[in-house]
Each structure stands twice: as structure tokens, then as C-alpha cells.
Structure 1
Amino acid sequence: MSDAVRLREEGRREEARERLLSLAAEFPHDAEVAYQTAWVHDTLGLEAEAVPHYERALKGTGLSNDDRRGALLGLGSTYRVLGRYEEAVATLGQGAAEFPEDGGLKTFLAMALYNTGRTHDAMQVLLTLLVTTSKDPDIAGYRPAIEEYAKDLDATM
């Protein structure tokens, strides 16, 4: 499998895809092979084809924490691209719960929440992420107010 990953990293994605599809057929229960196969499909813009590989990777065992995080983000963002917004929210929400320090998962979750019409929830996620990660002193100076508004944007202070 390392050869296929190397091919993908070298930009030889179609070759990597062919190799990974062969490995996925040979090892259908290998979560790492499934994850790498999903990833290469995503890099080629083949999102619909990536989904079953992501799903198989996440149902399996043996993914490192980093790869599990990547698979949750990859599947959630792929669902979103495909217009499967509720599935995106569920997957990205699960990822954000499992990996609360990951700002990427939260950002994609906010976008999916927006797509489902849950704009308040999306803003809450983004504002909370902003105040907990920004090093901008102008934002830090308003942190208490922003945290309160994140809870209820319609509130007056």
C-alpha cells in the first residue's frame, strides 16, 4: 500500500487509484486500504466513488487516530459536496465530538449546518472556534462578549 500512497503523493493519482482499487478488492475489510482508496478518489474529484470506501474505513478497525479524523472529515465534506447535508452534519458532528481540538472538522461542520438551514448553530460553532483559536488581540479583547453572543446571537447585552 505504501507504493500507492507514494504515487498519490507524487501526483500520480490515477496510478495510485488503480493500485488501491486492486488492494481494496484483495483486502475488503482493511480499514487503512479503504481510507487510502477513498482519499485518492476525493483527490481526483470522484466524490461519489469515494463514499463507500470512507464508510468501509470508518466501520472497520485499525485506523490510527489521525486517519480516523481524516476519514471523518473526508466523508463529511464529501457528503456535503454531494448535497447530502444531514449526513454531512452527522458525520462532521461525530468527528468534532471525537476530536474537539480539530478546527477543520468544526469549520466543515459549520458549513454543513448552514446548508441545512441551521444558521444559528453554524454561527455558534464558528464564533466559538474564532474566540478559542484567534491570536488577534482585537478579537481576544472581545472574547467574553463573543462567547455570549455565540450562545444566542439575538440576545442583547
Structure 2
Amino acid sequence: MTSESKEVLLAEAIRLRDQGRLEEAREHLLALATRFPDDAEVAYRTAAIHDRLGLESEAVAHYERCLSGTGLSDENRRGAFLGLGSTYRVLGRYAMAVDTLRLGVSQYPDDGALQTFLAMALFNIERHHEAMQILLTLLATTSHDPYVQQYRRSIEHYSKDLEETA
């Protein structure tokens, strides 16, 4: 790797990724991660390329490093919570997925994707009621479907207690 700036090298890795040259991008990002081990942005991009290639086990350490560091944009921090939580879930580490996604939702309560992935992880640990509550609330508050909106109050009401019938 040359003495080019981190920004130039990171842009090159992103260009490779965008061109579909994923393995080359991964190799480039791994070299960057070695050169800049404390850089949260590099760790995030490295984690994400591993995820995209289906190398979830290898992505975990990079996600953990980027979330423990500083300097990550809000957008990428959201992505890191979702990526790590989803990766834990895919690996069958459901409790860790729930913990990670809950932390993400607590920091970004308006993020419907984080809420959705949290609901999936909750389903995996058989917390079905809580998963449904999250999904029904999300549906009621974000759907533009006129038929969902017609019944929004009822959906929100029953999301609190699905066992209630009256």
C-alpha cells in the first residue's frame, strides 16, 4: 500500500465495491484496517464488505471495533448497529443480537430498520409478543396504506396487548 491518505485509499475501496469487485475491495479494506486499526470508518467499511460477501464471522470484530471507536457518522453508526445485530442473528447469537439492536434502537428510536431487525431477533428468542408489538407499532406509525391508517388506533391499541379481545 502506498503512502496515499486514508481518505484516498478508502475512496478507492468504495469504488471497487461499487464496481462489484467485492473481493478486491475486501483485500483493500483489510490492508487499510491493518494500517489504521483504530479508525472507526475503516472498521465499518471492512465489516460491511465482509457481510456483503457472506463472511459474517469475519465481520463481527470489525463491527465491534467501529462501534467502540469514535468518529463514525450517524448514518454509519446506525448501519453498524444494524449490521452487527443482524450478523449476530445470522450466526445464531440471538441474545447478543437483541442486546445490540436494543442499544441501536435506544440511540436511534426513529429507525424502522433497527426496530424490524430487533423484532426478528426477539422472535428467535421466543419473545413473540414483544416482536409483534414492535412490528404493529411500526406498521401503524409508518404505513401510508389508507386501509392501515383507517385502523391505526385499533392496531396501536392491540399492539400493547394482543391477548385482549374487547
TM score, norm. by length of structure 1? 0.98
Q: Please tell me the root mean square deviation across aligned C-alpha atoms, in Å.
A: 0.7
Separation of aligned partners in 1, 2:85 and 2:18:
22
Match of 1:21 among 7, 30, 36: 30
Query: What residue is the counterpart of 1:92 in the other structure?
Result: 101
Structure 1 residue corresponding to 2:143, chosen from 122, 128, 134? 134
Provide the identity percentage: 65
Return 5+ residue gaps in structure 1 as ranges.
none
User: Which residue does 1:50 correspond to in 2?
Assistant: 59
Q: Distance in 2 between matches of 1:97 and 1:11?
A: 34
| Residue aligning to 1:71 | 80
Distance of 1:5 and 1:86 partners within structure 2? 32
For 2:112 and 2:15, the matched residues in 1 are separated by 27
Q: Does 1:3 align with 2:8?
A: no
Give the deviation of 1:40 after TM superposition.
Answer: 0.5
Per the TM alignment, residue 156 of structure 1 is displaced from its structure 2 partner at its CA by 2.2
Give the TM-score normalised by the residue count of structure 2.
0.93
Q: Check if 1:143 corresponds to 2:166.
A: no
Task: Tell me the residue number matched to 1:107.
Answer: 116
Query: Aligned residues, how many?
Result: 157
Alignment of 1:123 onto 2:94: no
Q: Match for 1:86: what amino acid?
A: A
Q: Hey, what's the Cα distance between the residues in 2 that align with 1:23 and 1:95?
A: 26
- The aligned residue for residue 5 of structure 2 is none
In 1, distance between residues paired with 2:125 and 2:35?
Answer: 38
1:32 is matched with which residue: 22, 36, 41?
Answer: 41
Bigger mean CA offset, 90-99 vs 41-50: 90-99
- Residue 150 of structure 1 aligns with an amino acid whose one-letter code is S
State the shift of 1:116 in Å.
Answer: 0.5
- Kindly provide the amino acid, as one letter, of the partner of residue 29 in structure 1: D
